[in-house]
Structure 1
Amino acid sequence: MKIKSIASIVLVATSAALGLAASNLTPVHTGASIAPPTAAATKVKIGVSIPAADHGWTAGVVWWAKECSALHPEIDWTIVTAESPEKQIEQIEALMAQKVDGLVILATESAPLTPIAEEAHNRGILIVNVDRGFLKPCADIFIEGDNKAFGRKSATFMVEKLGGKGKAKGDIIILEGIPCTVNTDRVSAAMEVFKSEPGIKVVGQQAANWNRQKALEVTETLLTKNPKVTAIWASDDDMALGAEQALTEKGISGVWILGGAGMKDIIKRVMEKDPMFPADITYPPSMIATGMELASSVLVGGKRAEKLQYIPKHLMIDVDLVTPENAKQYYFAKSIY
């Protein structure tokens, strides 16, 4: 079952507290002081495994995870971040050894994280998968943004700006992200749109891993081979900024960029009608908090199996096209991202 928008999940839990078992991971403890534990009241333990804050969007993910954990002192949270799939697997193994009741996982990459997620699921640990999907159906709940709509809406906007359906013309560069279901869905949906327009030619396409520095390097290389591009489909705001820097350093003007994910700096420039960034696509990092809320609602108070009967296994968040006309409603000056 797919849901195109998710209402706020309000949880009232009455579990008493129990200290976190010793481990080599750093737990995130939140809330006021708690009464001494009793044998009859054991805290639910949930591990949150996410990529390190190596670019703007994942920094937003980490921030939202900490914000959500602070709302639930009745839960024993352990939040860990990883720079690589190998490190993330190691951390999840450690969380499993701590006997967590649930895991909320945003994978560094889909393929290498699937086996460990499957193992945890087979051990009876609740698995909530956020954003980058596993390659097997081993999650109890999967929440993601609509990445096919992300690719389709962004590509359709580019077609319109390049002349309109059936009339669009231009040479474009495509920047891809980390190998995972998110990137696959975005790129494949965008390519369907571009391939239907004979006047649009993809003159360069390469992964830049949603990283600004990598996007700078990749874009410089692609521009060396094809300096007369019309536009860049960057698929991510960090990569868009890297591509912009490459254009500046090469002294190339008149090229515009479409990124994505709703970085406040980009939204502000869309709002101000900066010709470099005529639009953007939303993709909220707060989805990690939604996953955490789902995990807590299932695990706190027991009756897990009964609750899972009415919670959808697949929830999908809408993505919106941001233009100068509506950008103000998507701009949050105090946001970390």
Structure 2
Amino acid sequence: MNRRLFSAISLAIATLVTAPAFAQNKLVMGVSVPAATHGWTGGVVYWANRTKGELEKQYPGASIIVKTASSAAEQANQVQDLQTVNKIDTLVILPFESAPLTKPVAQVKGKGVYVTVVDRGLTDPSAQNAYVAGDNPGFGKVAAEYMAKAMGGKGNVVVLRGIPTVIDNERVDAFNAVMKSHPNIKVLDAKHGNWNRDDAFKVMQDYLTRFKQIDAVWASDDDMAVGVQKAITQAKRSDVKLVLGGAGSKDYIKKVMDGDPVVTADVTYSPSMIADAMKLTAEARITGKAMPATTIIPSVLITKENASKYYVQDSPF
């Protein structure tokens, strides 16, 4: 047998051997996210399911399984089931809480599953292959810079913080760092509203009782801004000229678009980051290209001029 014929036969055999293996090596991605317990996570669930359809259409043969959990314990069990029952080779997870999910995710990664963590980091970064999140320091910085300019560099501000977390600390620290360069703006107080409308309503009621002049409120979240505005309306206060939320809910983007005199801007921290994480991970896994260890999605100021770009009518948030 001549060398050329031998090579051709060898190539044909190799193709026959490798083709079935490649065909079986289709993407099986598990996506684990918190249930829609409030506006932002409702948006996460929406974007996860929307992106599932887009990726399965873009990559024929790919399978995307989306699971939602109402607690850290439920999510930990779901992660195990995704690996043992669904036989996933890839996991994209937005942890319900960091600490309780670290060990379950590490165990799955130890079995060969590629892991991308979104937003709420694990306590041990070695349990992940990649991390995708919003820019939390940027979130606070962009908000403070806009407020300082809108207030003309002077006046009284009250702040509503989120749940006590590293994320919240990063946002508030960056906000305060900007405000230090504006000595004529006084931050009267900063209390936790826990990213919750009802809690924010109570905090704002307290502020309105204690402070007779409030020029602006950094609600730091659009859900909390709803509670803030409800308290202001009930108290019939006209001194508050600016309420700045955050995260880019469609209701607050619409207020900006429509020229609301008090809600003149917002700051992005979109739940669509789950979609970004899913797309980046799928592309990396299917093409074999390396995914960056960390991807930070910038926080952008939303004003009347660019609000329509960020408005998504179908999103629940």
TM-score interval, smaller chain:
0.7 to 0.9
Higher mean displacement: 289-298 or 260-269: 289-298
**CA–CA distance in 1 between the matches of 2:24 and 2:166?**
40
- The aligned residue for residue 236 of structure 1 is 221
Distance 1:86 1:249 in 2: 39
Shift of 1:277: 0.6
- What do residues 247-305 of structure 1 show as CA deviations (whole Å, max 9, x unaligned)? 1122222312101111122112112221221211122222211211223233347x5xx
Q: Return the alpha-carbon distance in structure 2 between the equivalents of residues 328 and 70 of structure 1.
A: 24
Could you state the TM-score of these two structures normalised by the residue count of structure 2? 0.82
1:100 aligned partner = 88
Counterpart-to-counterpart distance in 2, 1:203 and 1:130:
34
Note if 1:323 corresponds to 2:303. yes
Deviations along 1:191-221, one digit per CA (max 9) or x if unpaired, are: 2112333333332322222222222233223
Q: 2:271 aligns with which of 268, 277, 285?
A: 285
Contact 1:132–1:180 (Cα < 8 Å) also in 2: no
Distance 1:40 1:150, change over 3 A: closer
- Percent of aligned pairs sharing the same letter: 42
* C-alpha distance in structure 2 between counterparts of 1:96 and 1:179, whole Å: 32
**Secondary structure of 1:77 counterpart:** strand
Q: How has the CA–CA distance of structure 1 residues 56 and 234 changed in structure 2, closer, same or farther, with 3 Å as cutoff?
A: same
Which structure has the larger Rg over C-alpha atoms? 2
Residues 1:154 and 2:135 aligned together: no
Distance 2:96 2:203 in 1: 21
RMSD: 2.6
TM-score, scaled to structure 1 = 0.77
CA distance in 2, matches of 1:77, 1:313: 22
Equivalent of 1:65 in 37, 43, 48: 48
Match in the other structure for 2:76: 89
* Amino acid across the alignment from 2:38: H
Any idea what SS the aligned residue of 1:54 has?
coil
Q: Show the counterpart of 2:123.
A: 135
CA contact (8 A) 1:111 1:180 kept: no
**How far is 1:155 from its partner?**
0.6
- Structure 2: segments with no counterpart, 5+ residues: 1-19
Determine the C-alpha separation between the residues in 1 that align with 2:78 and 2:212.
Answer: 44
Higher RCO, 1 vs 2 (CA within 8 Å, ≥6 residues apart): 1
Gaps of 5+ in 1: 1-36
Which residue pairs with 2:245 in the alignment? 259
Contact 2:266/2:303 (8 A) holds in 1:
yes
Aligned length: 291
Comparing 142-151 with 320-329, greater Cα deviation is found at 320-329
Instruction: Give the equivalent residue in structure 1 for 2:11.
Output: none
The match for 1:119 is 107
Question: Which residue of structure 1 lines up, in the alignment, with residue 161 of structure 2?
Answer: 176
CA shift, 1:183, in A, is: 2.2
